[in-house]
């Protein structure tokens, strides 16, 4: 009787969502069945190299932002030969332009590998918000070319891959404009495509033309329609209705999407996965302006544990 009631409630919920896909409770197998604290941990054999996971925070963030993400991966994959680099070189100035922040992150990665004399077998990246753009920019640099064949998973948490051009929240758009003016932020100027009068010469468009994402085994895009800071379609790298109706900017937007997704589709060894997230959020001002959902991917233990146990850990095995 209990199971029948649960099934009926679940089906009703899915109809109300009006979205294609499945819920985590539909899955019969979890991403990991290893207990969080196994009784005996074997000594790690590092001869085959380690899996370096680089975590990059977003705007006005810091190196501790992704600590829960790191924790749940470590708990779910004990003995996984994982080494985490919690990026901190940009935490003092995330309002700089992307080229400057790219240089800092690239220096940080190379210095980390050299300092600890790491033998790298795989490299994965986890980014939140603006951090995902810095990651993509690092992939295009000549100094990183040596590591391209070691790329494993790119986990993008609410990443503004198409910028914030078609943000349906006037409040957030106004806030970003004010912040850009006050901070004289190069990164916010670039995210809103106001760094050049010709859209095709803007940083984000030119970044979309460069190679990078197709070298990963997994490109995982996590997005939430409740997030007003980063447009849902931007985090998922897909077209939106407003862009389709926009005869001036829409075609350029479509080109950008094709630039990004084309190489991923053609790459035989690369898999693109999209996860839509619906958070249970309280009725607060943060929820209203969409900030709560934007940071829930970092601080919601309920979401993070479920996400990694059900699917996320598969991408880091």
Residue 49 domain-assigned (yes or no): no
**Count of domains for the chain:** 1
Task: Classify the C-alpha dihedral 234-238-244-247 as positive or negative.
Answer: positive
Residue 303 domain-assigned (yes or no): no
Strand partners, 271: 218
d(CA 60, CA 93): 7
Give, for all 317 residues of the chain, the pLDDT tens digit. Answer: 566 787 788 888 888 877 777 777 788 788 887 877 766 555 555 557 999 999 999 999 999 999 999 999 999 999 889 999 999 999 999 899 999 999 999 999 999 999 999 999 999 999 999 999 999 999 999 999 999 999 999 999 999 999 998 887 665 566 665 666 666 778 889 999 999 999 999 999 999 999 999 999 999 999 999 998 999 999 999 999 999 999 999 999 999 999 999 999 999 999 999 999 999 888 876 666 678 899 999 999 999 999 999 999 999 99
Residue 169 domain-assigned (yes or no): yes
pLDDT at 302 (0 to 100): 94
Strand partners, 208: none
Contacts for 140 with CB less than 8 Å, ≥ 6 apart: 207, 210, 211, 212
Residue 138 domain-assigned (yes or no): yes
Domain that holds residue 179: 55-68+85-222+254-296
Contacts for 315 with CB less than 8 Å, ≥ 6 apart: 124, 152, 153, 155, 218, 220, 273
Residue 233 domain-assigned (yes or no): no
pLDDT at 213 (0 to 100): 97
Tell me phi and psi for residue 269, to 5 degrees: -95, 5
Residue 13 domain-assigned (yes or no): no
d(CA 279, CA 281): 6
pLDDT at 183 (0 to 100): 66
pLDDT at 179 (0 to 100): 65
Residue 292 domain-assigned (yes or no): yes
pTM for the model: 0.89
d(CA 50, CA 39): 23
Which CATH number is 139's domain given? 3.40.50.1820
Contacts for 82 with CB less than 8 Å, ≥ 6 apart: 50, 51, 53, 73, 74, 316
């Amino acid at each position: 009787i209990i199971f029948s009631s649960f099934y009926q409630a679940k089906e009703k919920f899915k109809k109300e969502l009006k979205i294609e896909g499945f819920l985590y409770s539909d899955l019969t197998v979890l991403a990991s069945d290893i207990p969080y604290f196994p009784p005996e941990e074997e000594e790690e054999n590092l001869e085959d190299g380690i899996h370096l996971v680089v975590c990059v925070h977003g705007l006005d963030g810091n190196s501790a932002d992704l600590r829960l993400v790191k924790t749940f991966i470590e708990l779910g994959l004990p003995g996984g030969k994982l080494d985490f680099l919690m990026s901190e070189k940009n935490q003092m100035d995330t309002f700089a332009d992307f080229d400057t922040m790219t240089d800092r992150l690239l220096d940080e990665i190379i210095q980390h590998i050299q300092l600890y004399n790491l033998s790298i077998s795989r490299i994965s990246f986890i980014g939140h918000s603006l951090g995902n753009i810095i990651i993509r920019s690092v992939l295009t640099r000549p100094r990183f070319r040596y590591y391209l064949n070691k790329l494993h998973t790119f986990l993008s948490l609410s990443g503004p891959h198409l910028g914030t051009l078609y943000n349906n929240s006037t409040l957030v758009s106004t806030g970003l404009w004010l912040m850009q003016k006050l901070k004289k932020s190069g990164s916010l100027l670039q995210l809103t495509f106001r760094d050049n009068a010709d859209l095709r010469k803007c940083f984000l468009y030119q970044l979309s033309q460069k190679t990078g994402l197709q070298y990963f085994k997994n490109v995982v895009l996590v997005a939430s329609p409740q997030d007003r800071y980063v447009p849902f379609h931007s985090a998922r790298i897909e077209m939106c209705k407003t862009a389709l109706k926009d005869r001036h900017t829409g075609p350029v937007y479509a080109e950008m999407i094709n630039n990004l997704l084309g190489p991923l589709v053609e790459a035989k060894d690369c898999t693109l996965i999209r996860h839509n997230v619906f958070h249970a959020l309280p009725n607060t001002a943060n929820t209203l302006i969409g900030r709560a959902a934007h940071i829930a991917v970092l601080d919601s233990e309920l979401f993070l544990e479920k996400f990694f146990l059900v699917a996320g850990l598969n991408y880091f095995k």
